[in-house]
Amino acid sequence: MPDDALGLGLAPVAPPIATATPYRVLARKYRPQNFAELIGQDAMVQTLGNAIKRDRLAHAFLMTGVRGVGKTSTARLIAKALNCIGPDGQGGPTIDPCGKCEPCTAIAEGRHIDVIEMDAASHTGVDDVREIIEAVRYAAVSARYKIYIIDEVHMLSKNAFNALLKTLEEPPAHVKFLFATTEVNKVPITVLSRCQRFDLKRISVEKLTTHFAEVCGKEGVMADGEALALVAQAAEGSVRDGLSILDQAIAHADLDGDGVVSAAQVRSMLGLSDRSAVRRLFGLLLAGEAQAVLEEAKRQYRLGVEPAATLAGLLREVHLVTLAKIGSPHDATLPEDAREQIDGWADKLSFPVLHRLWQLLLKGHDEVARASLPLESCDMALLRVLHGASMPDPGELARLLQNGPVPTPVATAPQISGESSASTVSTSALPASFAALVAHLDKSGFVNLAATMHDVMRVVAHAPPALRYQLAGPVHQGFLTELREALFRATGERWDVEEAEGDAQPTLLELERLQEAQANREILESPLVKAALDAFPDAEVSVEGRLISPDRQAEVRSLRA
């Protein structure tokens, strides 16, 4: 038969060309199919497991949490758990659905007739809820339970919520309601009181990094640990957001030809600042290098880092330094050299300076975020931080107004308190003795610090401007840092102060007590006083209004012995 057998002049139709399976994004491909794959929600899984084992299932569940933590996925898993019949068809509700039976596979594919999903964002009215109310009267077609999953339930109108209340409170035994929302505060309390609520947590950076590494292994993709940590941080606790970013990072790496997801590529893709560059910029701020600060900020801008991201990176550094100062463990993603640098800053910077840096950077970040000239606004914010952080705090201003200024370094550039200048004027008259140093600090307004030194500090070596000591009692958090800062402010010199081993002198308080005991001993051993005490053993001796009680007398005698 000719090709145009029908006389229509038409060529035979070629068979369709087979097409490859369309690509599924990672966020859909790795959606959890069982509770074991649901990361970071162990408490909820345990509660559900216990409820299923004890047959104490609620008729309505409400899952709330930020985007991408698994609210809708959890609702589908609950639907599987309640309707699973096992591979042999004889199973009952279980926290470990088989994933192979018809209900499990149908629910996973979104085609089960008895598991109805509704997006409340597009079905907000009372008519949509009325359809549900009418349908719940009928038993499930093939499943154990008829399940209604309503996503973003807070989007329902007030009338829709009111229409649902009665059915929600007393639904038929074969019906379960599963609600998911990101804004639980918008759900009426009358609805909340009828549901068993689960607050799904943000996923930690560590767990996200581990999960993304497993995904990369399954995908056959090589990725740096630092790159995955950056993706996890950018995800802000959301698995879905993180997988979307990872998808983009893998595509970005493929375009470069080597197929490796690197930290530099992720930073470039997300417009993030290199953490080492942020630390370099932070160090320049502390050193008061105004021109170098602006040049480094501009270099980051040319690399594609947004000015707001630069300031956000500096805020994170201040936060890390503050945490290090109070003794918190370091971020596990930080390299060793970064930890040492942060520890050094924590040792040098006082809490008032760190709090002031935070406030100035936070104000600058807010200004840059809404500025029409972001780079210029960033420059001005950084200069304000550089100059403003070195200003005295209100307590120091009050001391200056009361006692007048003390010798301070003369710097070639504005200095942030806590960092020494390259050019200083040394003071010639440093306190020659430890007692004189304590008295000088007391007169300079550092009363509490001087009292602590007086009571608990035992001097190993005093060679101004160096001081080695041991402690005879507890001191407050940050004592050493505060002492160095006070010595600098009171004397104009940077002191080398640290604890040391070796022979130490008694504290000033201990010396005073020894001197007092010696004076008491001399009094008590005078012939007249001894005769009086022998005649009246329980008598109390008073010297210039200072009482020497019998107990004190015994103490003196023991010291004499």
Model-level pTM? 0.58
* Per-residue burial over 432-470, b = 16 or more CB atoms within 10 Å of its CB, e = otherwise: eebeebbebbbebbbeebbebbbebbbbbebebbebbbb
Tally the residues of the chain: 561
CB atoms within 10 A of CB 195: 20
Q: pLDDT at position 9, please? A: 45
Task: Please say whether the beta carbons of 81 and 70 come within 8 A.
Answer: no
Q: Which of 39, 88, 69, 312 is nearest to 182 (CA)?
A: 69
- Which structure tokens are listed for 245? 């970013």
The percent of the chain in helix, strand and coil, each rounded to the nearest 5, is 55, 10, 40
> Could you say which DSSP state residue 327 is in?
T
Q: 427-434 contacts: CB < 8 A, separation 24 or more?
A: 427/491, 427/492, 427/493, 430/464, 430/465, 430/491, 430/493, 431/464, 431/491, 432/464, 433/462, 434/459, 434/462, 434/467, 434/505, 434/508
Cα dihedral sign, 361-362-368-371: negative
Q: pLDDT at position 437, please? A: 92
Q: 35-40 contacts: CB < 8 A, separation 24 or more?
A: 35/77, 35/81, 35/95, 35/96, 36/96, 38/70, 38/73, 38/74, 38/77, 39/203, 39/207, 39/211, 39/239, 40/69, 40/201, 40/202, 40/203, 40/204, 40/207
Q: 420-427 contacts: CB < 8 A, separation 24 or more?
A: 420/494, 421/288, 424/492, 424/493, 424/494, 425/492, 426/492, 426/493, 427/491, 427/492, 427/493
| Dist CA 360 CA 354 (whole Å) | 10
Q: Which of 196, 199, 168, 165 is nearest to 182 (CA)?
A: 199
Q: pLDDT at position 400, please? A: 53
| Dist CA 44 CA 58 (whole Å) | 14
> Could you say which DSSP state residue 239 is in?
H
Q: Where are the alpha helices (DSSP H) in 271-335?
A: 275-287, 290-302, 307-325
Q: pLDDT at position 257, please? A: 54
Task: Please say whether the beta carbons of 263 and 224 come within 8 A.
Answer: yes
| Dist CA 490 CA 440 (whole Å) | 8
Spans of the chain below 50 pLDDT: 1-13, 18, 406-426, 428, 559-561
Q: pLDDT at position 537, please? A: 67
| Dist CA 14 CA 389 (whole Å) | 76
| Dist CA 183 CA 193 (whole Å) | 16
CB atoms within 10 A of CB 1: 5
Q: pLDDT at position 227, please? A: 87
- The structural domains of the chain, ordered by start, are 26-199 (3.40.50.300), 205-270 (1.10.8.60), 275-388 (1.20.272.10), 434-499 (no CATH), 508-560 (no CATH)
| Block residue for tokens 């001894």 | 530
Residues 6 or more apart in contact with residue 321 via CB below 8 angstroms: 342, 345, 346, 349, 354
Q: pLDDT at position 393, please? A: 55
| Dist CA 422 CA 409 (whole Å) | 10
| Dist CA 292 CA 157 (whole Å) | 57
Q: Which of 100, 85, 195 is nearest to 142 (CA)?
A: 85
Task: Please say whether the beta carbons of 422 and 494 come within 8 A.
Answer: no
> Could you say which DSSP state residue 119 is in?
E
- Give strand pairing partners of 60: 177
| Dist CA 149 CA 171 (whole Å) | 14
Task: Please say whether the beta carbons of 206 and 187 come within 8 A.
Answer: no
- Which structure tokens are listed for 528? 């007249």
- Give strand pairing partners of 12: none
Q: pLDDT at position 367, please? A: 92
